[in-house]
A and B are shown apart, each in its own frame.
Chain A
Amino acid sequence: MPTTAKKLVSALALGTLATAAGCGGATAASDEDVELRMTVWTSNEDHLALFDSIADAYIADHAEIKSITFESLPFEEYNTTLTTQIAGGNAPDLAWMGDLSADLIDSGALVPLTETLEGTEGWGYEDLLPSVTGEFSRDGELYAYPFSNSPFALYVNTDLLGEAGQTLDPAGLTWDQVSALGSAVNAATGKGGFVVNDFNYSSWNTLATVWTAFGASAWNEDGTECGFDSPEMAEAFTFLHQAIYTDKSMPGPGTTADFFAGDAAFAVAQVSRAGNLDGSFAYDIQPLPAGPVGEYSVIGQAGMGVLQSSAHVEAATGFLAYLTNPENAAKLAQYFPPPRQSLLTGEALAANNTKFTAEQLQTVVVDQVAGAVTLPNHTNPAEIAQKAKTALDAMWTEDADVAAVLGTVCDAIDPLLAE
């Protein structure tokens, strides 16, 4: 027995030593041995190949950079995974960001970029459209490069309209007309009228693509006052409620109607979703329909920034400046509507877009970006989203009191807006 015990003690000790040696084997990265990592939510091979090619070109000119990797995280879990990495002390050097940007900027987690970008020869800071930098700026300082600025547009299944004996007159198209056409399609074919992509009676922020037509907004400009209890918002939700339960022009909760599978006549979706059109039906694309306040446009944005926690802030910022310089920004514009005025032309976008003509892209992208509003964004986005969703769930019943439900949304999120 003592012999066995000695053997076991020795094995354990050896194991412990080996583990300790393994842990102690790592050495801190030096300035000559820089490894950069950027988290992204795309897993598209073409996107990643483009990023890799730009990174390879940068590494070739910068001996101190050993590697640059792009880590694909699932879109649905992106914010959770990124924040978990940050909390666990494993933050990336650079990161894509969507609605997490406000939290990152306000907590000081991002590196200011303006000075670096303005100081980079040939970068052309003045080429950035003011309408797309606001969401990623504080007090005139840019914290993330808005590499993707994709307007929401109205996709039309013209086959389905034809099947229902309907035609679309794009001149002066309004939400009421879209609802009437959707209602006719539903009555004639049993398929959906119009859908707001990604809404799914959960992601209510996507309804900004509708309520903006009524002059409503989720909160005021500085994000301190709730806008759900405004008359404009009540009008917008009354329109949606009637579309669902009275006109049957919008599929109700719990009903699946995928526009890209041919199950709905209209879809509000970003232009970047055009890749889902597989040619199984004839389609058209139009700017968002007008509402009581007239014409308007909404964009969904994504930015890329440098984390303050990076061990190589200078190297990461330098790479970001290279990745977004005019030459590389033109390459990125193949896939993401760019923030640079010089790259925003219908012809330029059509060069890499087989789904739409230059004229269509001019109308639904280029003409929309400059005056667009963004989807609602605020610090603490997940908690605001959950609290508002919990209150808004009561809206999706046939006998809902629209104004009362909207009041409860404000009750739920007011404390968070006040923080």
Chain B
Amino acid sequence: MGRADAATGYLFIAPQLLGVLVFVVFPVGLAVWYSLNEWNIFTGDMAFVGAGNYQAALEDPQLPSVLGATAVFSGGVVVLNLVLGLALAVMLNRRFRGSVLFRTLFFSPVVVSVVAWTLVWGFLLQDNGGLNGALAAVGVDGPNWLQSGPTAMIAVTFTQVVRSVGINMVLFLAALQGVPGELYEAARLDGAGSRTIFFRVTLPLISPTLLLTAIITIVGALQSFAQIAVLTEGGPGLSTTVLVYYVFQQAFSFNDIGYGSTLALMLLTFVMVLTVIQWQLRRKWVFYED
């Protein structure tokens, strides 16, 4: 490639590169710098503390609970989202009356504002709210969903999954429709049952989509903020305080920008490590990588 061609290429990617530099690389660099300092935002004084904030993270008595809640929430969201998304896609991949309506219904929460969605669920999940009212109508005494740790975690996980499962369903649907029909026919001729066909034909052929959805679901789960802020404010106790909400509290409620930046870098590291691990593991289970 000639120099002129290379320059042209760079110019074409320049807008995107500029965006990444200004809105990603520069802020991450700033976060690294802030994490090495104590910043009194009222006076503007910034004191270099080196690894002080990282040491504080190691000694933070709340951080283990926060990381635990993050793992439970993210794990729950990822597993449920992928399993439900795939199950819905498989069901709605068949032609039957109303299949388009069901696809629309399951996808519609994706386009609803996350705050509006969460506010409505906040009302429904009240002790005297709609959900317990419906349960009472069938003789079930529902729990006070948002007031005890386990049910609050179930509630925030459920609202997140229901809201976002539609996007995975659509991606899986597209992937399922790309599986050649003759492969199913060949499998049936060979005597394969439905279960065998699903695990030996369908799943391997949609594995690239599975990889994509796994990555975006994990990243999305680790970034879930509004559900926690609106539904539980991290409570009761620290039971639903996930890392991204804790970062917000430290940096913007407690005005501890240095420690908040340290935790934000920790979150960034988690996301990067998980993504790299999945990317590396793809060779073992994504079919076109063999």
A-side residues, CB < 8 A to B, are 1-2, 4-5, 8-9, 12, 79-80, 83-84, 86-87, 89, 103-104, 107-109, 201-202, 252-256, 309, 380, 382-383, 386, 389-391, 393-394, 396-397
Contacts and interface: CB of A to CB of B under 8 A. Distances in A.
Contact of B253 (A107, A252, A383): A383
A254 B145 CA distance: 8
A1 B253 CA distance: 53
Interface of B: 4-5, 7-8, 11-12, 14, 39-44, 123, 125-129, 144-148, 233-238, 249, 252-257
B41 A254 contact: no
Contacts of A383: 253-254, 256
A301 B284 CA distance: 64
B92 to A, nearest CB: 35
A85 to B, nearest CB: 10
14 contacts: A5-B7, A8-B11, A9-B11, A84-B252, A87-B41, A253-B127, A254-B125, A254-B126, A254-B128, A256-B126, A256-B128, A382-B249, A383-B254, A391-B237
Contacts of B144: 252-254
A377 to B, nearest CB: 16
* Of listed A83, A256, A393, residue having the most chain B CB within 10 A: A393
Contacts of B255: 83, 87, 103, 382
A61 B125 CA distance: 57
A5 B8 CA distance: 5
B147 A254 contact: yes
A252 B7 CA distance: 67
Q: Is the interface of B mostly helix, strand, loop or mixed?
A: loop
Given A256-B123, A380-B254, A390-B235, 6 more contacts: A87-B39, A254-B127, A254-B128, A256-B126, A382-B249, A396-B236
B128 A397 contact: no
Contact of A252 (B127, B234, B238, B254): B127
Contacts of B44: 89, 309
Nearest to B146: A254
A103 B126 CA distance: 35
A13 B42 CA distance: 39
A256 to B, nearest CB: 6
A407 to B, nearest CB: 15
A202 B233 contact: yes
Given A382-B253, A397-B148, A8 B8 contact: yes
A382 B254 contact: yes
B254 A12 contact: no
A107 B252 contact: no
A80 B252 contact: yes
A86 B146 contact: no
B42 A109 contact: yes
Given A107-B40, A393-B237, A80 B127 contact: no
A2 B147 CA distance: 67
A12 B5 contact: no
Contacts of B254: 380, 382-383, 386
A253 B4 contact: no
Contacts of B12: 8
A185 to B, nearest CB: 16
Nearest to B18: A12
10 closest cross-chain pairs (CB), A and B: A254-B127, A107-B42, A393-B236, A87-B41, A382-B253, A109-B42, A383-B254, A8-B11, A254-B144, A5-B8
Contact of B147 (A5, A87, A396): A396
B5 A109 contact: no
* Of listed B14, B127, B249, B254, residue having the most chain A CB within 10 A: B254
Given A8-B11, A386-B249, A83 B41 contact: yes
